[in-house]
Structure 1
Amino acid sequence: MLALSAVLVSYLIGSVPAASWLARSRGVDIRKVGSGNSGATNVLRSLGKGPAFLVAAFDILKGALAVWLARALGLPPEWVGLCGVAAVIGHNFSPFLGFRGGKGVATSFGTIAVLDPVAGAGAFVLGVFTMWLTRFVSAGSILGALTAGILVVALGRPGWLTLVILFLAALLIWQHRANIGRLTAGKESRLGEKVR
């Protein structure tokens, strides 16, 4: 019962729509501007660097907090991983936004970084480098997710951890399927450009 309650609480933590609420406090409906995505990148394009940093930090913390909470409760590792997954699902499918949300990049990173710091660091370095090199946030996010998945397999992590990180990587890539289509068609917007 404790484990299931922790998963539910983790989902609710993840579902807090920081981007939407912060934008609303400034008179903006984040779902109706830019890409329409409730995440830090759309906040950056719509409201600027300061608000985007706050949203990214909050979203990272959601994933990390879910894992820390599960560990503090002394739950088995598998349940700790499920709590991290629940936070990401809450972010992507928030009941506060009609079961819509962001793409889970920051929340997935927060979860992975606490579950496996090596995979998290690898994903962060390659993801940020790709964003800097190409100016495509989507490309950096996708390559970061792939890096985390490759590292967790290559390092021979326990089965539960491998499954959790591979699931999060696959979910993140799925959430970016429209971006992948635009990237291959040469129509994806770069940082600093208006959404096409």
Structure 2
Amino acid sequence: MTALTILMFASAYLLGSVSSAILVSRLFGLPDPRTSGSRNPGATNILRIGGKFPASLVLVFDILKGTVPVYASYHLSIEPIYLAFIAVFACLGHMFPLFFNFSGGKAVATAFGAILPLGLDLAALVIITWCGILYLTKYSSLAAILSVSLAPFFTMLFKPEFALPVGILSALIIFRHKDNIVRLIEGQESKVTDKKPPHS
């Protein structure tokens, strides 16, 4: 492992640590997403407490937090296996942001952004799965859990050399959704069509 690779690990984590949900909330005068709505600093919560435009900004930036470090590392000729672990560090930054007391989101959008440079076919299959489950169930959390659960298997089809780190990434995201899983089982999870649900 080279010094450049270690630098990209650190850079990915630091970029991931920039919480767009909190910054956009401050910009638009919205409540802190860590203490309002579902208390999750992510695009879905911003949609519910602030509307489509602020949520769109959060979604785009969260995706870029994954895409930029992986894509940059690709052009720096970093070994393929490390590209996927750079994606993991970007998501760890989003989940445990250095700049916001290590209180972050669930990294679904950042993970999708990180997968984009690994292959458009892989990314397309993940997003189609997510959209399909969301359309059928209206549960954002369920769509995220199932799509990331399938992501390592999709990776084995298209980019098997990345299957292990993508599997690690998927496990982290599923773990971050543990409360959502409990609420889904108990029938208490909110849907995206709910205006002001207590959870996300």
| Aligned CA-pair RMSD | 1.3
For the residue of structure 2 that corresponds to 1:16, the secondary structure is coil
Find the aligned partners of 1:24 and 1:141 in 2 and give their Cα distance.
26
2:136 matches 1:133: yes
For the residue of structure 1 that corresponds to 2:160, the secondary structure is coil
Query: Which of 12, 20, 23 is residue 21 of structure 1 equivalent to?
Result: 23
2:128 matches 1:118: no
Q: CA deviation at 1:192?
A: 2.5
Find the aligned partners of 1:155 and 1:55 in 2 and give their Cα distance.
29
Deviations 1:88-134 (A, max 9, x none): 11011001110110100000001112213322211100111111111
**Percent of residue pairs identical:** 38
Give the equivalent residue in structure 2 for 1:9.
Answer: 11
- Show structure 1 runs of 5+ residues with no match: none
Give the equivalent residue in structure 2 for 1:174.
Answer: 175
- TM, length-normalised to structure 2: 0.92
Find the aligned partners of 1:37 and 1:192 in 2 and give their Cα distance.
17
Find the aligned partners of 1:73 and 1:125 in 2 and give their Cα distance.
30
- TM, length-normalised to structure 1: 0.94
Give the equivalent residue in structure 2 for 1:31.
Answer: 34
Find the aligned partners of 1:156 and 1:55 in 2 and give their Cα distance.
28
Is the contact made by 2:153 and 2:163 (CA closer than 8 Å) also made in structure 1?
no
Is the contact made by 2:63 and 2:112 (CA closer than 8 Å) also made in structure 1?
yes
Give the equivalent residue in structure 1 for 2:191.
Answer: 190
Find the aligned partners of 2:132 and 2:55 in 1 and give their Cα distance.
19
Moved over 6 A (4+): none
Q: CA deviation at 1:26?
A: 2.3
For the residue of structure 1 that corresponds to 2:40, the secondary structure is coil
For the residue of structure 2 that corresponds to 1:192, the secondary structure is coil
Q: CA deviation at 1:154?
A: 4.1
Mean Cα displacement is larger for which, 100-109 or 110-119?
110-119
Find the aligned partners of 2:117 and 2:73 in 1 and give their Cα distance.
12
Find the aligned partners of 2:81 and 2:43 in 1 and give their Cα distance.
29
Is the contact made by 2:19 and 2:41 (CA closer than 8 Å) also made in structure 1?
yes
1:81/1:155 Cα in 2 relative to 1: closer, same or farther (>3 Å)? closer
Give the equivalent residue in structure 1 for 2:82.
Answer: 79
Counterpart code for 1:59: D
Mean Cα displacement is larger for which, 9-18 or 75-84?
75-84
For the residue of structure 1 that corresponds to 2:70, the secondary structure is helix
- Pairs aligned (count): 194
